[in-house]
Structure 1
Amino acid sequence: MNNGSALRPRLLAALGAALLLTSCSSAGGDDHRTKDGRASHWGKGMGALEASAFMKVAVPESATEVKGAVQINPQEDIYVLSFVTDEKTAVRVAEDLRPEKPLRARNQDLPPPTELFGHLGLTEPRSEKGARWVGVCPPCVGDGRRSEVQWIEIHVLELNSDRTRVYMQAF
């Protein structure tokens, strides 16, 4: 198999993730109605514990400002999680996702950001200057721990010399 063929499933997964996230989230963060009338909504009582459990991510014990939510959608639920920790720990969390590439600046030519983190009272990570990101399809990289997760991505934003905000989303 040539290198182009090997990348095709991952590129399709990434494109699917971007399309799903933009189609399932309304700009105002409110409910979104599908053509058949079913609505997306934020799961009541579903927060950081549910998001971290789905993502199989251990929130560091030293983390502060831990927030999470689950957007219930007709097709795919979206789990969001955010916390503040030190840079070294944030990078370790990103590396645990087993991405093929390290954290990097995001391409600015991607579709406009969704309003998922606004529900948590946070600015969307894509709009934050200096935020780095990586995304991964766990089944594509053989991560059996996350076999139920189709896509997971992390954004890391340095707030100051000893505090870094981690933003994660998955479906």
Structure 2
Amino acid sequence: MTVRGKACTALSAVLVSMLLLVSCSGGQAGDTGREGASTHWKEGGGAGEAAAFMKVRVPEGATEVKGAVRVNPREDEYILSFRTDGDTAARVAEDLRSEEPPAPWGVVSAQEPELFGHLGLPEPKTLEDALWAGVCPPCVKDHRRRDVAWMEIYVEDLGAGRARVYLRAF
């Protein structure tokens, strides 16, 4: 093998090792993607900050309004939840401007790190009849949310005309 071939092999090994290191870290708590940064819940980051980032107005009369901000090395995640009537929940979902209407998500076991569990709520992906819609706001020309890369909503029917809305954005 030539010197050049050995150098390419060594470089390839280094690159593969770096890729494995990055992919195995998977964004777990304690990762340091930004200088000195790690995944953690922002102290004082609540429903108001989440709603402001998402450009969502919490409906008047909504109850059990909860929110949080999870600081991540790559991008922060904002979560917001509240209870409201079913018609209002549908309007909030429609305001996301998703190309598809909310549809059943299907039940999955919670394997991702808890988000809504931080608020004392079940993970919406684990709810049997929750409806889901997701959207890339810049992709649908939603200029109000040009700083939001992805936004999703889950709507849980609570019966008696009530619903719980779960919103997540980054």
**Per the shorter chain, which TM-score range?**
0.7 to 0.9
Cα drift, residue 56 of structure 1: 0.1
SS at match of 1:33: coil
TM (norm. structure 2) is: 0.79
1:90 lines up with 2:89 in the alignment: yes
Give the Cα–Cα distance (whole angstroms) in 2 for the partners of residues 82 and 50 of structure 1.
Answer: 13
Give the Cα–Cα distance (whole angstroms) in 2 for the partners of residues 76 and 110 of structure 1.
Answer: 24
Equivalence for 2:145: 146
Cα drift, residue 69 of structure 1: 0.2
Equivalence for 1:129: 128
TM (norm. structure 1) is: 0.78
Paired residues, what number? 143
Cα drift, residue 124 of structure 1: 0.2
SS at match of 1:134: strand
Q: What RMSD in Å do the two structures reach over aligned CA positions?
A: 1.9
Equivalences for residues 11-160 of structure 1 within 5 A: 23-24=26-27, 32-34=29-31, 38-107=37-106, 112-160=111-159
Structure 2: gaps spanning 5 or more residues: 1-25
Whichever of the two has the greater Rg, that structure is 2
Structure 1: gaps spanning 5 or more residues: 1-22, 27-31
Q: Which has the higher contact order (CA 8 A, sep 6+)?
A: 1
Residue pair 1:113, 1:124 contacting (<8 A) in 2 also? no
